[in-house]
Amino acid sequence: MSHILPNETKLYTANKELPFISTIDLKLNKYLYKIDVLFGNMSIIDANKDEIICYLNLDYLLSGLVISPINSSILYVRHMNIAYENNSYSIDEGFFKEINFETQHIERKIQIRKNPTKEWAG
C-alpha cells in the first residue's frame, strides 16, 4: 500500500514482504530513506517527523483504507476473508475496522456483506 501526503510532497510505500516503508520525495522524484517497521502490523507514521507513532495488530491482511472525510483522525481499514476453495479463491463477507489516530485505538468493527457495491450501484 502507498500513501501520498495531501500537499503531494512525499510518498510512503510499503514493500512486499520487507519490514520497512520507503519514503520518496515527489518534488525531487528521489528516494529519501526507509522507515523500519514491525512486519505484519499496521504502522502509524508522524509525517512531520517521519517516525512511527504506534503499531496496530489488525489480525487480517487489509485490502484497502480510507481516511474519514468528516474526521481526519479516523481511518477505516477494509478486510476481506479470503479462502481457497475448489481450486480458486473465494472472497467471503468482510469488514471494516475504524481506527482512531488520536487514541491509537481500534474503535469498532463493522461487518459488511459480500460485494456491497453491486447493491449500492443499483
- List CB contacts of 45: < 8 A, sequence separation 6 or more: 12, 21, 35, 51, 52, 53
Confidence band, pLDDT 50/70/90 cuts, at residue 119: very low
pLDDT in tens, 31-85: 999 998 887 778 888 888 888 888 887 777 677 778 888 888 888 887 765 555 5
**Together in a domain, 65 and 39:** no
**Together in a domain, 62 and 52:** no
**Together in a domain, 26 and 67:** no
Q: What is the pLDDT of residue 120?
A: 44
Q: Which long-range contacts (CB under 8 A, 24 or more apart) does 12-17 make?
A: 12/45, 12/47
**Together in a domain, 49 and 64:** no
**Together in a domain, 3 and 36:** yes
Q: Are 93 and 81 in contact (CB under 8 A)?
A: yes
**Together in a domain, 49 and 84:** no
Lookup result for grid cell 523500519: 36
Boundaries of domain holding 23: 1-56
Q: For the residues 5-26, what does the mean pLDDT come to?
A: 88
Which of 20, 35, 56 is the C-terminal boundary of a domain?
Answer: 56
State pTM to two decimals: 0.62
Fill in the amino acid letter for 8.
E
**Together in a domain, 78 and 51:** no
